[in-house]
Structure 1
Amino acid sequence: MTVVIVVLILGGTLIALLPSKENGKTIEEAIEKSGRQVVKIIHEEKVTGGEVVFFYKSINGGNNSTVASGYVKKTLWGWEWAYGGEHSHSEPGLPITAQYFPSTKDTPFPLAFGEISDSQIVRVNVQTDKRTIDKETRIVNNGTTRIWFVFLNPSDGPLTKVIGQSQSGQILASEDISL
């Protein structure tokens, strides 16, 4: 009887340690195995335990794409998609977009991010329902796309407003966010 119990425990442990079908050898492969089709990686930001990836995701059978982001964690077996989402591109007349991911267990979130289409926007400030965040958002330009992002503290509360400013501090875009 003891041998049977030991065999069952060892078997269960081995099954738990087997790689998941969701794991990929590369970050892009892990994203694709989660059911998201990557058109182009915009930026990868290293964080504790993995990377937050910003990318264009294919929609409508490849006819369009959205701006997406997600946390991909490093596991013993490779990379695994953990959590993320997407929103529409900047449209003509829409100088900045915004997406907010709330605090989620085992991720580096909350995260606010978006795409910037107005070349005059050089600074992005965010407000939450608790206060204006003093923390500078980061703007990344990969040559064809500019995105902004900031990791928030759970105590900051949800994102409520995004403000795009010029070099002189003039507000060029302001978007209220309703969650």
Structure 2
Amino acid sequence: MKKIASLVILAIMIILAFIIFKFNDGEKTIEKAISSSNPIKIIYEEKADKGSIVFYTTKDWNDFSTCFVRKTFNVYKYIYGGTGDVRVSAKKFGFSYAYYPNIEKTPFPIYFGIIGNPEIKKIKVIEKKRNIEGEAKIINAKDERIWLMYMNKFQGSDFEIIGLSADGKELIRIKDNISPWYAEQKPLK
């Protein structure tokens, strides 16, 4: 009987150790989860169902980065992200844009970018396949204006992104085609 009790206790301890190890795999702060070697400056954090979408820059670089970090048991883990020098295109064309694909256990897919034209007050995304449209969320964050569109209700790969003035006048229209492979891309492990 003592042998069975000892085995049960040992099994419980192994399971607890596994759970603690599995769920403590991460960092204590978002900054450390994103980059442990390069300091970053968070521009904006969008709380999402399964973590946060974080817009940030790397100090001493002129980049704009976006990622998704998951939070479990008070630790953060970097799941997916990317970096680009989008400020030039935002100033030249009025706004920049990027698409992050549908990835399991994230709030993706999303379209997002920086608004460089101060006359642009709204961003609208149109799905060409079914002629469905939606208005992006405009975020005034520090020195940037960011637009963010959750793409869950959209389908297909052909989209138009339109920058509008306060009175609804079209200032810029960009046609984008995301490849079917990219739309279904999975993160690298």
What TM-score results when the alignment is normalised by the length of structure 1? 0.79
Looking at structure 1, the residues matched to 157 and 137 of structure 2 have their Cα atoms a distance apart, in angstroms, of 18
Aligned ranges 1:1-150 → 2 under 5 Å:
7=10, 10-11=13-14, 14-18=17-21, 19-20=24-25, 23-33=26-36, 37=38, 39-57=40-58, 62=60, 64-91=61-88, 92-150=91-149
Query: Cα distance, 1:126 vs. partner?
Result: 1.0
**What code does the residue aligned with 2:55 have?**
F
Q: How much identity, in percent, do the aligned residues show? A: 29
CA RMSD after TM alignment: 2.7
User: When the two structures are aligned, how many residues end up with a matched partner?
Assistant: 171
Looking at structure 1, the residues matched to 152 and 170 of structure 2 have their Cα atoms a distance apart, in angstroms, of 25
What TM-score results when the alignment is normalised by the length of structure 2? 0.76
Looking at structure 1, the residues matched to 153 and 83 of structure 2 have their Cα atoms a distance apart, in angstroms, of 20
Looking at structure 1, the residues matched to 49 and 118 of structure 2 have their Cα atoms a distance apart, in angstroms, of 32
Looking at structure 2, the residues matched to 134 and 149 of structure 1 have their Cα atoms a distance apart, in angstroms, of 14
Looking at CA atoms only, which structure, 1 or 2, has the larger radius of gyration? 2
Query: Cα distance, 1:138 vs. partner?
Result: 0.7
What secondary structure does 2:33 align onto?
helix
What secondary structure does 2:104 align onto?
coil
- Alignment CA distance shift 1:176-1:110 (3 Å): same
Q: Which runs of 5+ in 1 are unaligned?
A: none
- Alignment CA distance shift 1:110-1:124 (3 Å): same
- Alignment CA distance shift 1:68-1:158 (3 Å): farther
Looking at structure 2, the residues matched to 99 and 38 of structure 1 have their Cα atoms a distance apart, in angstroms, of 23
Q: Which runs of 5+ in 2 are unaligned?
A: 179-189
**What code does the residue aligned with 2:92 have?**
G
**What code does the residue aligned with 1:42 have?**
I
Looking at structure 2, the residues matched to 77 and 116 of structure 1 have their Cα atoms a distance apart, in angstroms, of 33
Looking at structure 2, the residues matched to 102 and 159 of structure 1 have their Cα atoms a distance apart, in angstroms, of 14
* Contact 1:70/1:85, CA 8 A, preserved across alignment: yes
